[in-house]
Amino acid sequence: MGHFARRLVDIQVSERKMSDRYLLKRLFAYILRYKLVLIVVLIALLASSATTIAGPYLIMLAIDKYIAVGDLNGLLFISLVYIGVTIIGYFASYTQSYGLQWLGQKVIYDLRKDLFSHLQRLSIDYYDKQPTGQIISKVINDVNTLNQLMISGLLTTIGDFVVLIGIVVVMLSINVPLSLIAFSVIPLLLVANLYFAKKLRKLSRVTRRTIARVTSNVEETVSGIEVVKAFSKERAIRHSFNQVNRENLEANIKLARTSSALYPVIDVISSIGTALVLWFGGINIIQGIITVGILVAFFSYLGRFYQPIMNISLFYSNIQSAFAASERIFEILETKSSIKEKEDAIELPPFHKEIKYDNVTFSYAEGQPVLKNFTLTIKYGEKIAIVGKTGAGKTTLVNLLLRFYDPQEGRILIDGIDIRDVTLKSLRQQIGIVLQTPFLMNTTIMENIRFGRPDATDEEVIEKAKEVGAHEFIIKLPQGYNTKVGEEGKLLSVGQKQLITFARALLANPRILILDEATASVDSYTESILQKSILKLMENRTAIIIAHRISTIKSVDRIIVLDDGKIVEEGKHDELIARGGIYKQLYELQFETTQLPTLQSK
C-alpha cells in the first residue's frame, strides 16, 4: 500500500505528455455542452465587471461635478444611479457565482459518468496494469481538482482580465501620469507572485506526498487489523503512524508559513503603489492639476486593480495542477480497449453443440506463453474439471472463453463460431461464473441474487435460493432477503456468501457454467455442504470446473490435467489414478496435506 502511495505521488508530479492547448480543447468540449448557461455566465461576468469599474467613476463625478458646486439634485441623481449600479452588480455577481458552480457540477457529473462508463468498457488487461486506488483517485480527486482550479478558476480569471483591462482604460482616460505611477509597482507584484507561486507549488507537492503516506498507513492498518492485533503490534503501528502523521503536519505548517507571508507582502507592495499615488496625486491637487474626485477615484481603482493581478498570477501557477489532473482524466478516456467488437459482430445463437479451443497460444507477458498450441473440445452438457499446478493455465482458459483476453494464435469456437465474431453481451450472457472469492455488492441479499437477472421476480429469487440451500440461513437474518450484506459481504460468512453467488448463477440460467475454485476458500465441512448446491447448479448445463481440491471433482465426466500450458493427462478420476502420473501425484500430495495435522497430533 505504501508503494501505491509513492507511485501515485510520482504520477501526480511527473511531466505531462498532453499540451495545455489540447487539454483546454477537451475540457471546453464538456463546458460547451451547456452553451446557454455559459453565455449567461459570461454576460453576468461582464455586467459584474462593468459595475465594479463604474463605482469609483460615479464617486468621482459626484465629488467633482455635484458636491464641489453644491448641486443637490445632481448629487441625488448620481447617488440613485450608484445604488442602481450596486443592485445590478449584486444580481450579476450572484448569477455569475451560481452559474459557475452549476456549470462546474454539471461538468463533474458528465466527466465522472463518462469515466465510469469508459472504465466498464476497458478490457481486463488495463486493470492488470493499474492500481485500483489510482483509478479511484482519478475518478474522485482529479475531477474535483479540475473543477476547482480549471472551470471556476478559468472563468473567474476571465472576469479578472476584464476588470483589469477596464480599470487600466478608465485610469488612463482620467489621468495618464498618475496611472503610470500606479502601474509602476506591477513588476514587483509579478515577481513576488511568481516567487511565492513557485515555493507554494513545491510545498504543495510535499504535502500531497505526505498525506498519501498517511492514507497508505491508515488503509494498510485497517485492512490488516486482525494481523496487527494477533501479533500485538499496536504500539509499533502507532509509532509508524505518528511518524508519517508528523511529517504531514510539518509539511502543512511549512506550507501555511509560506502562504501566510504571501498576502502581507502583496499588501506592502500595494501600499507602496498607493503611497506613490497619494504623494503625487496630493501634489497635483495642490498645484490644481487634478481634482479631489480624481484622486478618490484612483484610490478606489487601486483597491480593485492589484487584486486581479495577484489572482491571475496565482491562477497561472495553480492551473498546472489542474492540467495535470485533466491529463490523468483524459488518459483514461482515450485508453482503447484491447478487446473490441467487430462492426459486423453477430448475436451468438444459444449454445447446443460444443466449445473448441483450436490450437490456442496465449501469454500475458511477451515471450512467456501460458498456453502453447492448446486444443480442447467440450461437448454440450459435459461436466469437465481442469486441474494442475499453480500457473499451469487453468484460469487462463476461463479468461479466454469469456473473452477477457484474446489469444495471440489460434481461436476459440462455440458451435463452430469464432467468439471474436460475436457480440460480447451475447457471449457472456450464456456463461455463468462462480469465483473463489465471492463478489457481493453492498446492498440486500435479494438484489445480489438478482444481479444477473434484474427483471427476476422476488418469487423467482427465493425459489433459486431454496434450490441451492441458501433460503434457510437467509430467513434467519434480521431482515431476511432485505438484509444488507455490507461492503464485500462482510456481514456474512464465506460459505453464506458463496451460496448467494450460487443462487445468483442459477437465477441467470447460463448454458455454460464455470466454477473457478468455487470451494477453495471454505473449510472441508462447509465444502461438503456446498457440494449439494454445486450439483444442482450443474444440472442440464455444460460445466467447467477449475479445482485445486481433487476431492470435489471425482464425479465429473472428464478431468483435464494441465502442465506448462499443455494437456498432459485426460480421463476419469479412477483412470488417472491408475496411470500413476501427475494427477495421482497431485491427489496423493493433497491427501498427505490433509492428514498431516492428524499425524502430528498423534
| Count of CB atoms situated within 10 Å of the CB of 465 | 26
pLDDT score of 2:
38
pLDDT at 40 over 50: yes
Its domain, for residue 439, covers 434-509
Backbone angles phi, psi at 423, to 5 degrees: -70, 145
Note whether residue 340 is domain-resident.
no
CA dist 302 and 298 (Å) reads 6
CA dist 470 and 497 (Å) reads 9
What is the maximum span of the chain, computed from C-alpha positions, in angstroms? Answer: 120
User: In this structure, are residues 565 and 372 in contact, taking their beta carbons and an 8 Å threshold?
Assistant: yes
305 and 323, same domain (yes or no): yes
Backbone angles phi, psi at 543, to 5 degrees: -130, 135
* Percentage of the chain exceeding pLDDT 70: 89
The CATH code of the domain that includes 201 is: 1.20.1560.10
Out of 305, 333, 361, a domain closes at 333
Q: How confident is the model at residue 164 (pLDDT cuts 50, 70, 90)?
A: confident
Note whether residue 195 is domain-resident.
yes
pLDDT at 600 over 60: no
503 and 573, same domain (yes or no): no
What is the pLDDT averaged over residues 477-491? 86
pLDDT at 154 over 60: yes
Identify the residue with better confidence: 537 or 592.
Answer: 537
423 and 454, same domain (yes or no): no
422 and 442, same domain (yes or no): no
Q: What pLDDT, in 10s, does the model give residues 439-453?
A: 888 889 999 999 888
Note whether residue 338 is domain-resident.
no
CA dist 44 and 58 (Å) reads 21
Containing H/E element for 118? helix 72-121
Sheet with 368-379, strands from edge to edge, namely: 368-379, 354-365, 409-414, 417-418
Nearest-5° Cα angle at 295, 289 to 297: 130
pLDDT score of 548:
66
What is the pLDDT averaged over residues 489-506? 85
Task: Write down the pTM of the prediction.
Answer: 0.73
405 and 276, same domain (yes or no): no
Most confident region among 112-116, 143-147, 231-235 by mean pLDDT = 112-116
Most confident region among 193-207, 337-351, 581-595 by mean pLDDT = 337-351
Note whether residue 251 is domain-resident.
yes
Q: How confident is the model at residue 380 (pLDDT cuts 50, 70, 90)?
A: very high
| Count of CB atoms situated within 10 Å of the CB of 407 | 20
Among 278-282, 430-434, 520-524, 571-575, the range scoring the smallest mean pLDDT is 520-524
What is the pLDDT averaged over residues 232-247? 86
Burial of 99 (0-12, 13-18, 19+ CB in 10 A): buried
What is the pLDDT averaged over residues 159-168? 86
Tell me the torsion sign for CA atoms 302, 307, 310, 312. Answer: negative
Task: Return the residue matching grid coordinates 497431485.
Answer: 586
293 and 176, same domain (yes or no): yes
Among 70-79, 155-164, 239-248, 287-296, the range scoring the smallest mean pLDDT is 155-164
192 and 284, same domain (yes or no): yes
pLDDT score of 121:
87
Note whether residue 191 is domain-resident.
yes
What is the pLDDT averaged over residues 127-151? 74
321 and 378, same domain (yes or no): no
pLDDT at 319 over 50: yes
Beta bridge mates, 546: 386, 516
165 and 61, same domain (yes or no): yes
Backbone angles phi, psi at 157, to 5 degrees: -65, -35
Fill in the DSSP letter of residue 381. Answer: T
307 and 361, same domain (yes or no): no
Domain count, the chain: 3
Where are any strands of DSSP class E within 396-448? 409-414, 417-418, 431-434
Which of these, 507, 448, 451, lies nearest to 481 by C-alpha position? 448
pLDDT score of 347:
94
Q: How confident is the model at residue 602 (pLDDT cuts 50, 70, 90)?
A: very low
CA dist 442 and 488 (Å) reads 6
Q: Cell numbers of 593, please?
A: 496435506
What is the pLDDT averaged over residues 379-388? 90
Q: How confident is the model at residue 525 (pLDDT cuts 50, 70, 90)?
A: low
Distances (CA, A) of 108 to 30, 117, 132: 9, 14, 21
Containing H/E element for 502? helix 494-508
Q: How confident is the model at residue 598 (pLDDT cuts 50, 70, 90)?
A: very low
305 and 355, same domain (yes or no): no
Beta bridge mates, 374: 360
Identify the residue with better confidence: 117 or 487.
Answer: 117
CA dist 513 and 434 (Å) reads 8
pLDDT at 395 over 70: yes
Q: Cell numbers of 109, please?
A: 457529473
Burial of 49 (0-12, 13-18, 19+ CB in 10 A): buried
Out of 333, 357, 390, a domain closes at 333
Beta bridge mates, 515: 434, 545
How much is the mean pLDDT over the chain?
Answer: 83
Distances (CA, A) of 47 to 163, 202, 265, 497, 574: 10, 37, 31, 61, 88
pLDDT score of 150:
62
Identify the residue with better confidence: 256 or 322.
Answer: 256
pLDDT at 128 over 90: no
89 and 156, same domain (yes or no): yes
Q: How confident is the model at residue 7 (pLDDT cuts 50, 70, 90)?
A: very low
Distances (CA, A) of 468 to 384, 439, 552: 21, 17, 17
Q: Cell numbers of 248, please?
A: 504531514
CA dist 78 and 16 (Å) reads 54
The CATH code of the domain that includes 354 is: 3.40.50.300
pLDDT at 498 over 70: yes
Note whether residue 495 is domain-resident.
yes
Beta bridge mates, 562: 388, 567
Note whether residue 12 is domain-resident.
no
pLDDT score of 601:
34
Identify the residue with better confidence: 217 or 67.
Answer: 67
pLDDT score of 516:
82
**DSSP H helix total and E strand total for the chain:** 22, 10
Note whether residue 598 is domain-resident.
yes
Among 240-249, 370-379, 414-423, 511-520, the range scoring the smallest mean pLDDT is 511-520
